[in-house]
Structure formats: C-alpha cells, structure tokens
Structure 1
C-alpha cells in the first residue's frame, strides 16, 4: 500500500508505475475521494471546535441565569451535522481504501521502462554449453518423473517424482536450507501452507491475483503460492524494536499456483507446475538498509547455482514484468544444457515499505517513532527448473548423476560448509 500523501505528492510517478504494471486505477476519482476526505476532516474539526465553544457558552449563560434554549438547539444542530459528516467520512474512507488497494508499488528508477523496454542482463556466469538430451528424454524411467501418473492422481502439471529423482529433490531442498542457515545466517522457519485473506492481502497477492489462488472456500483459507506469504506475515500488526532488525528467515514450502491464463506458455514437463517446492529467503530491514540487503540476497541465491556447478545469468526485470508489490526485481536464470535455454529459478525483490503498510509491520526507532519496515524476499531456489538444469548437465549414458557438491553433502552433511 502506498501512503496517501506520497500519492498526492508523486502523482506522475504513481500513475506511471500503475500503467507499466497494467493496473487499472481511476486516479481522477481517487483524487476526488482524497480531496473530499480532507474536506470532511477539516469540516469535522471546525464543527467539533464550534461544539466545544457552544458548550462553554451554555455553561456561562446558565451560570448567568440567561436563556440557554437557543444554545441547546444550536448544539443539537451541530451534533447532528457531526454525525452526518462522520458517517460520510466512514463511507469515503472505505471507498478510498478500496481504490488504494489496487495501486501497485512504485518502480525503482533503475528499472528498465518505456514502450520498448526489455530486461537488462547484469551478470553472466559460467559456460553456456549444450548437451544432447533434454531432461524430458532422460527421466522416463522408474528413477525419474512420471507425469502421466501424476496427472492421473491430481491432474495435469502435478509431477510424480520416483526413486532417484525424488531423492534429488529432497537432497536439493535440504542442501539449500542448510547453506542459507549455516553460511548466510538465516533462521529457519517451517510455516503453515494455508493462510487467510489478510495474509495474502499484506504481501499483495490479493485482491489482484485471486484467480491464481487455490482456495478452500468452506474454511476461507488459501494454499500459499510461496513461503513469502506466511513468513512476511509473522510480524503483521506488530511493532518491533529497532535493535531487533534486521531479521533474516529461510523457509521451505510447497507452492501452489493455478496459473490461470498461463496455458500454452512453456507448460510441458517441469517448467510450469501447479505444485512445486521452493526455498524462500525473507528479510525485514530498516529503510536505509534495504538496497544493500537486496544485493546481498541476490548473491546468496546465486551461491546455490555456483556450488551446484550450473551456469546462469542475472537480469533486471523491466517495468511491465515487475510484480504488483515489488519496486525492483532481479531474476536468476539457470542455463539448461539439454533444453538449450535459460530458465528462471529465482526472483529477488525489494518491496520497500509497500507490504509493511498493507500488513502494518513497523518498528520503534531509537527516537521513539513508529516507522514502517522494508521487506525483501527471494527464491533460494525453486526446485523444478533447477532440477531440469542438474539432470541435463549431469546426464549419463543410463540416466543422470548428482553434482559433486550434493554427493559430499549426502556423505558429510553440514560439515561441508566449513570449507566453503
């Protein structure tokens, strides 16, 4: 949520960001509502002041033995007017809120923008070699991934991992968790996979992305699209102390996405799923520290791919690809040697105070002021496309092998991080 006064003072920037993110907001009507709210507040302040003066006059006149009837009648008129305007103010503030909640976060000045904007490549790592087979040709065995039986059990885009592929998935998740805990000093969280409406509103998925959510209507709960949602909401409606910041959390979760409207966009195999696993990094920082934290998280996510021996690139997303809540997002795209393409495995975003305002997440400064926290998150990493890249890079004549770092991790566990 953007601050009302910020919107008024930065109308051009706010409207430009909303247009770029394809968010339809009636700004003309919004500003009329904002102005009417201001008029009502000013009017109510004047009426209350007038009421107080009239009450004082009633007391004085009664004490002097005068006729207070006209003053009482005037007081009644003022009270009725106050009640009327308070009711209108309540309606206006509800209308204002229903308009404000559809306004996306502003875009960072470094985000590529404009009619023909495109992502900006900020880093390339490794050699972009090619292999003969794609993962789809490699995993058709009892030790691979069975899409047909997964579809029989649940429907399309629900893979069934078997044997070695299932083991790879489990080892990869544990490896990433331990890396971020041991080397990057994150605290592990194991969150609920079902959340309420308020949680998804705070992080910005609702109301805009409701059609992409799996919902349990009888319980009014939603399956999480990412661990970002429950972890960010840990401190919803709370005020932390400045000395508690920053906070760094890492969480594994299954992620559930209907992906409405996405059919036909790389839907084959593991590239686009309704359920997948992901390790998520979430930070809570003071405003002046969030830009530095953003770059640190980007490095931490890349570290996973470096250790796995995978090549990748980092891109800065353009305005139209930056999410509703994000101000600036980097994507990390791994190179899949058999598929011969880049695949997104991580998005690392800075939300500034946008989510904190929606969720009322604040901290008390040393000066005693309650200020909004900055929130950030990033995938560290999502597994499906990482698995694609691993299977293709480490393909063998009879299937695929594990990368050396995972073999060491299986044998020695967290001990391997001491030498990294």
Structure 2
C-alpha cells in the first residue's frame, strides 16, 4: 500500500570527474598494452572505458526527505576501503556552501558549486548537472536557514523558473511595466542564477525603478553587480558597492538582512563595512549564528586566533541546532588550541602549506593528463613518436594525480583535539 505521506525522493549525479579520469586512464593503458604486445589486457582495458562512463551515471546523491545518501561504486569503495561516511541524517547537516566557479571560456561565464557538509560527510554538486535546481531546493527547504549562505538561499527562493521565464526575451519595457515589482525581482534573480546576466540586468532595472526603497532588492542587486563585474567589466563592482551601502543604510532595523549584507561585503573584500554590518546585526539580535561566524572569519584574517575562538564559542551559544552548535564548538576548540599551543600551530601551518602545494600539483598533473590525451587523440597513428610521448605523459601524470589525491585525502584531516579545553 502506498504511503501518501512519504516524501518524494530526489537524486542527482555526483563525483563524475573521478569516473572520467579513470576512463581516460583505462584508454591510455589499453594503448600501452597493445603496443607492448598484450592484446588481451588491451581489449580488457579498452572495454573498461565505456563501462566506466556507464557506471558514472549510477554515482548519485539521494535525498529522501530525512537523509542524504551517496550511492554508486565509488561511494561503496569509499565506505568499505577508506571508512568514509556515505549517509547523513538531514538534522546533522552543518553547512551548505554554494560558491561561484568562474569559467571564462564558456558562454555562461560561471557555474555554482554546492558543498554539503556534516559529521564527516561531504557531497559536492554543480549547477550544470541535470536536476540540480529541484534537488538543492528540496534540501535547502528542509534545513535551518542559518546553515545556508547567500547563494544557497538564492537557489531556495529563486531556483524555480518564474512565470515570465519563457517569454522574458520577447517583452519590452512597456510590457514589463504591467507586471508587479515582486515578479520582476524574482525573474531577475532567477536569471542571475542561470547565467543570463544581460536579461537579469533589464529586469533588475525595471524592479528597482518601481521599488527604490527596498533594501532586500538592493542587497540582491549588489550580488548581481558583483557577478556582472567579474563576467563583463570590473567597473560594475563600484555599482555593487553602492547598492550594498544603500541597502545597509535602509536596513538599520533588520538584523537578518544586515547579516547578509555583511557576507556580501566580504565577497567585495570590504572587511571594515562587513564587520560594521555584523556588529550592528548582533546589537539588534544576539542569536545570529552567521554574524558570529562572519566576525570569526574576519578575526582570522587579522591573525587574532583567540578572538576567532571567542566568536565561535558565541556562535555555539547563539543557536539551538545541535549540528551547528557542534560545528561551532569544534572550530572554537581548534582555534583555541592554535592560540595556546605553539607546537600545534607549527604543525598545522606545515600541514596547510603542504595541502596547498598538493592541490596545486594535482591541478598541474590533471592539466598535463588532459593535454596529453588531446595530443594522442589528434595525432593518432600518423605521428608515432608524438603519440609515444603523449602516452608517456598521460601515464606519468595520471599516476602522479592518483598519488596526490590519496595524499590530499589524508592531509585534509586536522590533528586530533582534546575532548575538553580548559
């Protein structure tokens, strides 16, 4: 019998890059096997190439309304071999971080990367993956708003296409004047998320012309002009700063909005105004988790580790959510230990420095592998010497990438902390 109260199940593909890399490595090794006179191994590896591409479709993240679960061959291997966490109750989700990833050589210019983190679980999603918008909307609508950054909230509010989406290009300014400002604002934000910036600019201009005193609209325009400046021309960054200044002036009695404006100032690297907004928000409401976390990040930029710990302890006391409290307490203990133990601080500096170098080297190795793959594919059998060099580069860079990935997995772990700190 069907349960009428059952939550719909959402799923989205994830970890696709690992499968594509493994497929390229199998293709390279098959060429090497054929050249070394091992046709059986070559055929096996060649057959693995399409098989890995098919398996990639089954590597998914599933949300059933109460749990996030990673399913697929890699998730199984990670759980069995590495002891990783592949399932997370939604109540234990600590943070959702949605970042803008700029792609200068594409038409969209950028995409969004969402990282879901909690209790040893981590999942990474990209906005150009099919089903991204309904998946993140379902997840974000089921969690505490304090766990969402600005872009995560934007996808929750504006990810679904508004009614004007289908005819937006055909409407001129005279027709747009007939629609309410709230609908124009919603449409503009949706186009910002989907990368249609020129169209978003038109709709923001119409919405602002009819609702000039709305600080929420001005804050969203500040984020929009930040995207527009990075995609088109840096001069638009001045417009972003102007929108945020006006929004902060109009939002003097709205602590949640001031908290968001402070986060926006951090994106513009205006840390003085960001701190001012966070402190003003806390004067109005002492229970703002993200404002305390923002002040902690600003203190970290100034190298004030003791103040970082203080703000994280304050953040832990400001929330009733167990997952947020646990994360803030862990961060507070970590930075308190850093401020008190010089040996621990030196060890962490070495670990983070090495982690940075590993990521850079892995990026270079991945780029070499991709370029060598292109060379091998374009030269074919016409230039055997060039093909041999390309295969050698693919093999060496692929092994280096795998080794660095394993090292990255272990280096990301912080040193153990004591259970209590006096």
Name the one with the larger helix percent.
2
Structure with higher RCO (Cα < 8 A, 6+ apart): 1
TM-score, normalization by structure 2:
0.21
Name the one with the larger strand percent.
1
Choose 1 or 2 for highest CA Rg.
1
